[in-house]
Amino acid sequence: MTQTHVAVRRSRPVDLEGFEAFVAGLSTETSTRRFFAPTTRLPRSNARLLLTNDRRRGAFLATQGDRVVAHGCWAAVAPDAAEMALVVGDAAQRRGVGRKLTRALMRDMLDAGIRRMEMVVEPDNRAVVGLITRTWPDARLRSEDGLLTFAAPTADESGGQRAVA
């Protein structure tokens, strides 16, 4: 695996067109793994929501220059729990981008008071299942409607951030 040098930063409203171009450039397989349906275009309201940062959600982009290469977000599903999702563009996969993005998301969730994270994944998504099992080896797993849901604390028992692979 060759590391890809990217900058990870919080998304901003001005990132909308770059994010839409990123989604449009995803392969059918990658867009299906992230959105559970093949898509090259999100409704603009959905794209805006995926870039929103407020006290109940956070969004980050990984960029190379001015090009978006990955996106990650979390949204609160309970006062101290959130669902997290991320997608790495095809050319940047298996280069450490997902780990960098995950670290930023975890820090942001902890800062927001989120203490439990969930991720929903297709069972054959080996890259994300591997990331989750390396990062949260004690994650609880349940299977429902053909999908896997992993749940894990965002902080270790001492209150510190968990190590991220």
Instruction: Identify the pLDDT of residue 8.
Output: 97
- Hey, what's the torsion of the CAs at 126, 140, 61, 6, to 10 degrees? -60
Count structural domains, the chain.
1
- Where residue 40 sits, what CATH number does that domain have? 3.40.630.30
Q: Looking at the domain assignment, is residue 160 inside a domain?
A: no
Checking if the pLDDT of 164 tops 80, the result is: no
Q: Looking at the domain assignment, is residue 100 inside a domain?
A: yes
Q: Looking at the domain assignment, is residue 62 inside a domain?
A: yes
pTM: 0.88
Q: Looking at the domain assignment, is residue 51 inside a domain?
A: yes
* Angle (nearest 5°) at CA 111 between 114 and 46: 70
- Contacts of 158-161 with C-beta under 8 Å, sequence gap 24+, read 161/106, 161/107, 161/110
* Mean pLDDT, rounded, of the chain: 88
Instruction: Give the integer Cα–Cα distance in Å for 140 and 104.
Output: 22
Q: What is the pLDDT of residues 33-49, one digit of tens each?
A: 898 888 888 999 999 99
Q: Looking at the domain assignment, is residue 163 inside a domain?
A: no
Instruction: Give the integer Cα–Cα distance in Å for 85 and 100.
Output: 13
Checking if the pLDDT of 161 tops 60, the result is: no
Q: Looking at the domain assignment, is residue 66 inside a domain?
A: yes
* Domain of 62, in residue numbers: 7-153
Is the separation of the CB atoms in 156 and 115 below 8 Å? no
Mean pLDDT across the stretch 59-83?
96
Instruction: Identify the pLDDT of residue 33.
Output: 87
